Amino acid sequence: MKKQIILSLVVFAAVLVGAAVLFGFSNDEVKYPDNYRNWTHVKTLILEKGHPLYDAFGGIHHIYANQKALDGYKNGHKFKDGSVIVFDLLETVVADNAVAEGNRKVVGVMEKNSKKYKDTGGWGFEGFKGDTRERVVKNMDGECFSCHLSQKDKDFVFSDYRK
């Protein structure tokens, strides 16, 4: 009898896992953008002390796009599923009338999946602290999308591809 109960539980668990795989019940975590340093560099911007976003994003940031995102930038800011955009934020090192790149503060990521992230404009948002895989975004909507919402006409993407 005990064996039967255990067997039933095992079968039940297997069915649950199977259903999850079959129907796509996965978590909504945004993947770390492996290899993004080889993607296309979209643009760069430096935010200095006194800028309204300095506390969150002060420093020098580079935007990188994978091929699908690059196509999106060049196709009137219409981004297909699979587009990934990276916001690579580094400290600035100011010395001798030069501004150089310092340590990495955060790797911000936008990943397009119109079904998975339908509540945030089709974009999943995440940040990875420094050079780690430590996730920093607790609430995509409140911490990210609420600001990107202002860019609705540009598919919620602030940056433009600089030629």
Q: Cβ of residue 92: shortest distance to its own copies, in angstroms?
A: 9
Q: Which of 9, 14, 100, 147 binds its own copies (CB under 8 A)?
A: 100
- Which of residues 31 and 41 has its CB atom nearest to its own copies in the complex? 41
Contact 100, 91 (CB under 8 A): no
CA 162 to chain centre: 20
Q: Which of residues 144-163 bind its own copies (CB under 8 A)?
A: 162-163
Distance of alpha carbon 109 from alpha carbon 137, whole angstroms: 10
- Which of residues 64 and 145 has its CB atom nearest to its own copies in the complex? 64
Burial (CB count within 10 angstroms: exposed 0-12, middle 13-18, buried 19+), residue 71: middle
Residues near its own copies (CB under 8 A): 37-38, 40-41, 43-51, 54, 60, 62, 64, 70, 96-101, 131, 162-163
